[in-house]
Structure 1
Amino acid sequence: MKAYIFPGQGAQFTGMGLDLYENSPLAQKYFEKANSILGFSITDIMFEGTAEQLKETKVTQPAIFLHSVILAKVLGDSFQPEMVAGHSLGELSALVANGVLSFEDGLTLVSKRALAMQKACEMAPSTMAAVLGLEDHIVEEACAEIEGVVVAANYNCPGQLVISGEFSAVEKACKVLLEKGAKRALLLPVGGAFHSPMMEPAREELAAAIEATTFCEPTCPVYQNVPAEAVTNPAEIKKNLILQLTAPVRWTQSIQAMISDGATEFIEVGPGKVLQGLMRKIDRSVVAIGASLDA
C-alpha cells in the first residue's frame, strides 16, 4: 500500500516551489491564487527570500503547505494515496490531499494557524529542545518532575524526542536529561513552545476557524498526530486537528500504525527529505522516497 506523508515546519528553503512554478501552468495558477488569498506575495519570499524571511511562522507554514499541496496537484493521476499523514502543520496538507479540505480552506486555516501560534509565542518566553539517545519514558518522567511547563512535544523517531515549554523549564530539563545519559539535548531555533500547553490561546483561536470550515469525507484514511491511528470521520478529524496545537505529535506511533495497517511504500510530498530520514530510523524495511514529477 502507498502512503503519502507531508512535512512540517523546518523543511523550508530559499527557492522552494520555483521549479513547480516554472514548469507547470497548473502550479502557477495555484501559486497566484495563494498570493491572492494571503494578501501578500508569498511566491516572492519562497522563490527569492532570505532564510530569515522564510523562518517567520506566518510565512513558513503557508510556504511548506503550498509546496506540498501544489506538488500533489501537479502529480495528477499518479497521485493515488491509500493512506496519508502529515507532521504537525503537514496534517493540513494531508487533509487537502485526501479531499477533506479544499485548497482555499486549507490555505486559509494554515494562515490562521500560523498567526495564532505566532501570537501565542509572543505572550511568554518559550522554546523547544531536541533530546537524542534516550527512551521516551525517561524523557517523559524527567519533564514531569521539573517545575514549570515542559512536556514531550514531538515523538519523531526512536531516540529522538522534542520537548517544549517555558524557556527556563526547557533549559532545566536539558540539563537533567544530559545527566540521565542523553547524547544531546539542544535548544531549537524556533519561535516558541509548539505542541505544549503554551499554545492554548492559539488552540482557542483556531478552534473557532476549524469549526466554521466544511470538512468532507476523505478519499482515504488520515493517520492523525493526536491519536496516531487511522481516522475517516470528518467530525473526529476536526476534533483531533484542534487538539493538535497543544498535544504531542506522535509521529513514530503514526508511522508504526500505518505499517501495521499495510503500508509498504512511503512517499514524502513537499520540500526537503526530513521525513524520509525519520522513516529510516523508525523502520528500515519499508521504502521511503520523495515525490517526483519525473516518476
Structure 2
Amino acid sequence: MKAYLFPGQGAQFSGMGLDLYENSHRAKELFEQANEILGFEITKIMFEGTADELKETKVTQPAIFLHSAILAEVMGDQFKPDMVAGHSLGEFSALVANKTMAFNDGLSLVSKRALAMQKACEMQPSTMAAVLGLEDNVVERICEETTGVVVAANYNCPGQLVISGEIEAVKKACESLSEAGAKRALLLPVGGAFHSPLMQPAREELAAAIEATQFSTPACPVYQNVSTTAVTDPSEIKKNLISQLTAPVKWTQSMQQMIKDGATTFIEVGPGNVLQGLMRKIDRSVETSKAGIS
C-alpha cells in the first residue's frame, strides 16, 4: 500500500516549484490562481526569492502548500494514494490531495493560518527547541516539571522531539534535558511556540474559517497529527485540524500506525526530503521515495 507524505515548514528553498510551472500547463494555471487569491506574486518569491524572503510568514506556509498540492495535482494518474499524512502545515496539502477540500479553499486556510500564527507570536514572545537522544517520556516529564509553559510539540522520530513554549521555560527545560542526558537541546530559529497552548488565539481565529469551509468525504484516509489514526469523516477531520494548532504533531505515532495498517511505500510530495529521513529513523524496512512528474 502506498502512503503519500506532505512536508511542513522549513522545507522551503529558492526556486521551489519552478520546474512544475515551466513543464505543466495545469501547474502554471494553479500558480497564477494562487497569485490572485493571495493578492501578491508568491511565484516570484518562490522562484527567485532569497532565503530571508521565503522565511516571511505570509510566504513560507503558502509556498510549501503550493509546491506540494500542485505537484500532487499534476501527477495525475501517477498519484494513487491508499493513505496520506502531512507534517503540521503539510496536513492542509494532504487534505487537498485526497480531495477533502478544494485547492482554493486549502490555500485560503493556509494563508489565514500563517497570519493568525504570526499574530499569536507577536502577542507573546515564545520559542521552540530540538531535543535529541532522550526517550519521549523523559522529555514529557521534564516539561511538566518546568515552571512556565513548555510542552512536547513535535514527535518527529524516536529520539528526536521538539519542545515549545515561553522563552524562559524552554531555556530552563533545555538545561534540565541536557542534565538528563540529551545529546542536544538547542533553541530553534523560529518566531513562536507552535503546537503549544500559546497558539490558542490563532486556533480560535482559524476555527471559524475551517468551520466555514466545505469539507468532502476524502478519496482515501488521512492520518492526522492529532489523532494518529485513519480518518475519513469530514466533521472529524475539521475538529482535528482545529486542534492541531495547540496540540502536538504526533508524527512518529502516525507513521507507525500507517505501517500497522499496511503501508509499505512512503512517497514524499513537495519540497525537501526531511520526511524520508525521519521515516528511515522510524522504520528502515519500508521503502521511501520522492514524488515527481514524468
- 1:191 CA drift (Å): 1.1
Residue 140 of structure 1 aligns with an amino acid whose one-letter code is E
2:53 and 2:118 mapped to 1: Cα distance?
14
Q: CA-to-partner distance for each residue in 1:48-105, whole Å, 9 max, x for gaps?
A: 1110111112110000000000001110111011100000000000000000000000
Map of 1:240 onto structure 2: 240
TM-score normalized by structure 1? 0.99
Q: Is the partner of 1:113 in helix, strand or coil?
A: helix
The aligned amino acid for 2:214 is: T
1:128 maps to 128
Query: CA-to-partner distance for each residue in 1:165-190, whole Å, 9 max, x for gaps?
Result: 00010011111000000000001111
Describe how 1:93-108 pairs up with structure 2 within 5 A. Answer: 93-108=93-108
4+ residue runs over 6 A deviation: none
The aligned counterpart of 1:22 is 22
Counterparts of 1:190 and 1:44, CA distance in 2 = 24
Aligned equivalents of 1:118, 1:288: Cα separation in 2: 33
For residue 3 of structure 1, give the secondary structure of its aligned residue in structure 2: strand
The code of the aligned residue for 2:21 comes to: Y
| Matches for 1:58-207 after TM superposition, within 5 Å | 58-207=58-207
Runs of 5+ consecutive residues of structure 2 not aligned to the other structure: none
Per the alignment, in what secondary structure is the counterpart of residue 85 of structure 1?
Answer: strand
Counterpart amino acid of residue 59 in structure 1:
V
Specify the SS of the correspondent of 1:190: coil
> For residues 131-174 of structure 1, what are the alpha-carbon distances to aligned partners after superposition, in whole Å with 9 as ceiling and x for unaligned?
00000000000000011000000000000000000001001111
CA–CA distance in structure 2, aligned partners of residues 15 and 292 of structure 1: 15
Q: Distance in 2 between matches of 1:26 and 1:99?
A: 17
Distance, in Å, in 2 between the alignment partners of 1:4 and 1:10 is: 19
The answer for the alignment partner of 1:44 in structure 2 is 44
Give, as a single letter, the amino acid of the residue that structure 2 aligns with 1:90.
G
Q: Which SS does the other structure have where 1:262 is aligned? A: coil
> Percent identity over the alignment?
78
Q: Please give the alpha-carbon distance, in whole angstroms, between the structure 1 residues aligned to 2:57 and 2:262.
A: 35
1:250 aligned residue = 250
Give ranges in structure 1 of 5+ residues lacking alignment: none
Task: Give the number of equivalent residue pairs.
Answer: 294
- Structural RMSD (CA): 0.5
Q: Secondary structure at the match of 1:163?
A: strand
Tell me the CA shift for residue 129 of structure 1.
0.3
Measured in 1, the distance between the counterparts of 2:121 and 2:55 equals 14
Name the structure 2 match of 1:279.
Answer: 279
